[in-house]
Structure 1
Amino acid sequence: MATRVLQRVGRGLKETKRGLRASGQPTLTARSLAAFREDSWFKSLFVRKVDPRKDAHSHLLAKKEDNNLYKIQFHNVKPECLEAYNELWYEGVLPSIHEDPEYPCELVGTWNTWYGEQDQAVHLWRYRGGYPALTEVMNKLRQNKGFMDYRSERGKMLLSRRNQLLLEFSFWNEPAPRPGPNIYELRSYQLRPGTMIEWGNYWARAIEIRQQNQEAVGGFFSQIGSLYTVHHLWAYKDLQSRENIRNAAWQREGWDKIVYYTVPLIQHMESRIMIPMKTSPLQ
């Protein structure tokens, strides 16, 4: 059976080759095969061969020197309530919780979306200590009457909310407070299942190209929530600076090839331009 299938495939290839010759179209030559092999060899420089049965992707891609877990929240606010929502954030119980050492969590950044999905707030927290730290904070918040009152009042202002738990890529810098004024871009990628290792290997090189203007803030991949999701967070002085920096990347060696090989890994992508709220450590 297998032999007959191979024979039919061989005959089909010969017929195709004869047809190409008759039509004047180029056929596979030694030179084209060599070019194909060279292209495959070049791709192998980027892609690290990993057997997923031997280790979890999170262990291969995340930082090992710390135990940070991140939570990102997206709040879609009723348009008429956005100003009141921001004021409640500033004046409510959250600033005191963020400063309380009894809560093992840090506010990394908090923004309103400027371009992208409108009337939206985005919040990013870091939990030093991983899942136990997250569990400890959640348990304490349930016992905090001030927070529960704040949550009840906030709920009246929201249309929807969602969150994800994230790990940070080992090759990105850890997000650190920075002075402003800046705008921030959150680029979110939904990858094809099974391609996270490839993405990490390509971007381990790509980030070296994109660090030259210090615009890279943080890179994360999801663990709980929408899976095979990647978030890249960038900071720019303004929209024109963003345009100039992104265009300049195309002039650097290797950037075009990285884009060429990563685009097929993406199912969906989204860009948000965000403005920091006044209590955000990332300004």
Structure 2
Amino acid sequence: MANRVLHSLGSGLNQARTRVRTQGLAVFSSRGLAASNHRHGEDSWFKSLFVRKVDPRKDAHSNLIAKKETSNLYKIQFHNVKPECLGAYNKICEDVLPSIHADKHYPCELVGTWNTWYGEQDQAVHLWRYDGGYPALTEVMSKLRQNKEFMEYRNERGKMLLSRKNQLLLEFSFWNEPIPRKGPNIYELRSYQLRPGTMIEWGNYWARAIGYRQGNSEAVGGFFSQIGQLYMVHHLWAYKDLQSREDTRNAAWQQEGWDECVYYTVPLIQHMESRIMIPMKSSPLQ
């Protein structure tokens, strides 16, 4: 009798152990599967930050976001001037650059010329437009080498500079064409270094967002680099003063959709810089 009871108890314990093991494995498996799915979801989300599905294209990105109506090419120049030479530098620029702008034999226009007020100090910024693209640029450069006044200006300018750089730009299709305007105004040049491969995405968002920033005619022009530092975007804005800049920018946040543009475009940026600039006397943008 006692043996039967012990045998029955032993069988029950074995069955209980079996059930515990089976249930434990089931729980472990379900948890492992859930954890695996969770990790897979995290991996997919993480990879999505870096891996983008790109539709096959048979055209350059610049052709998709640049203006089709014109063949304009832009050049932006950044000149870092010796502090003691800034006054003399501005004078020779005002003596020579407007004559090139006004000469019909040169297929180019001086869009604007400024001194940086806030940002990198003792800096001059010049923006040129070449009507006819690269052939116009080549023609202008060739003619300037034969221009004695310009070559003298260039030699004298070289003695006043610490460094200089330039970029060739195209204009975004959805921005205004920069045209002369009366002053007084201050100008803000906001420059963005984008992550490679994100220019189309940037353009898609800003094509909608620019509508939120045109109420006070503050949008002057938008450009992206073709030669020089690549994946660079420059937005040029005009304001009456620093307070109107503050008021205008704050008003944009009250418009539905502006916050979404900022939310989606900030992750595309590697570096950004803001310059507040004052027009030189010879600048068509005053």
TM range (shorter): 0.7 to 0.9
Question: Residues 134-153 of structure 1: matches in 2 within 5 Å?
Answer: 134-153=137-156
Q: Tell me the equivalent position of 1:155.
A: 158
Post-superposition offset of 1:51:
3.0
Q: Tell me the equivalent position of 1:200.
A: 203
- SS state of the match for residue 140, structure 1? helix
Post-superposition offset of 1:279:
0.5
2:137 counterpart letter in structure 1: L
Among residues 32, 35, 53, which one is paired with 1:15 in the alignment?
Answer: 35
Post-superposition offset of 1:195:
0.2
- SS state of the match for residue 127, structure 1? strand
- SS state of the match for residue 204, structure 1? helix
Post-superposition offset of 1:52:
5.4
- SS state of the match for residue 202, structure 2? helix
Post-superposition offset of 1:50:
6.5
Post-superposition offset of 1:276:
0.2
Q: Tell me the equivalent position of 1:79.
A: 83
Q: Tell me the equivalent position of 2:248.
A: 245
Task: Provide the C-alpha distance between the structure 1 equivalents of 2:197 and 2:280, rounded to a whole number of angstroms.
Answer: 36
> Is the aligned partner of 1:277 residue 2:280?
yes
Task: Provide the C-alpha distance between the structure 1 equivalents of 2:32 and 2:146, rounded to a whole number of angstroms.
Answer: 72
Task: Provide the C-alpha distance between the structure 2 equivalents of 1:85 and 1:272, rounded to a whole number of angstroms.
Answer: 19
Assess if the C-alpha contact under 8 Å between 2:185 and 2:241 holds in 1.
yes
Q: Tell me the equivalent position of 1:226.
A: 229
Larger radius of gyration: 2
Segments of 5+ residues of structure 1 without an aligned counterpart are: 1-9, 19-27, 29-35, 37-48
2:232 counterpart letter in structure 1: T
Task: Provide the C-alpha distance between the structure 1 equivalents of 2:267 and 2:67, rounded to a whole number of angstroms.
Answer: 26
Distance 1:251 1:134, change over 3 A: same
- SS state of the match for residue 197, structure 1? helix
1:95 counterpart letter in structure 2: P
Q: TM-score, normalised by structure 2?
A: 0.82
> Is the aligned partner of 1:53 residue 2:73?
no
Q: Tell me the equivalent position of 1:69.
A: 73
Task: Provide the C-alpha distance between the structure 1 equivalents of 2:32 and 2:99, rounded to a whole number of angstroms.
Answer: 73
Assess if the C-alpha contact under 8 Å between 2:97 and 2:110 holds in 1.
no
Task: Provide the C-alpha distance between the structure 1 equivalents of 2:32 and 2:120, rounded to a whole number of angstroms.
Answer: 51
Q: Tell me the equivalent position of 1:99.
A: 102
Distance 1:55 1:162, change over 3 A: same
- SS state of the match for residue 244, structure 1? helix
Distance 1:96 1:52, change over 3 A: farther
Post-superposition offset of 1:213:
1.0
Task: Provide the C-alpha distance between the structure 1 equivalents of 2:232 and 2:56, rounded to a whole number of angstroms.
Answer: 18
Task: Provide the C-alpha distance between the structure 1 equivalents of 2:56 and 2:114, rounded to a whole number of angstroms.
Answer: 36
Give RMSD over aligned pairs: 2.0
Q: What percent identity do the matched residue pairs reach? A: 83
Distance 1:159 1:52, change over 3 A: farther
> Is the aligned partner of 1:169 residue 2:172?
yes
Task: Provide the C-alpha distance between the structure 1 equivalents of 2:58 and 2:33, rounded to a whole number of angstroms.
Answer: 39
Task: Provide the C-alpha distance between the structure 2 equivalents of 1:73 and 1:116, rounded to a whole number of angstroms.
Answer: 16
Segments of 5+ residues of structure 2 without an aligned counterpart are: 1-29, 46-52
- SS state of the match for residue 272, structure 1? strand
Assess if the C-alpha contact under 8 Å between 2:114 and 2:279 holds in 1.
yes
Q: Tell me the equivalent position of 1:264.
A: 267
- SS state of the match for residue 217, structure 2? coil
Q: TM-score, normalised by structure 1?
A: 0.83
- SS state of the match for residue 94, structure 2? helix
2:77 counterpart letter in structure 1: Q
> Is the aligned partner of 1:130 residue 2:150?
no
Post-superposition offset of 1:94:
2.4
Task: Provide the C-alpha distance between the structure 1 equivalents of 2:216 and 2:32, rounded to a whole number of angstroms.
Answer: 54
Q: Deviations over 1:204-231 (max 9, x none)?
A: 0110010111100000000000000000
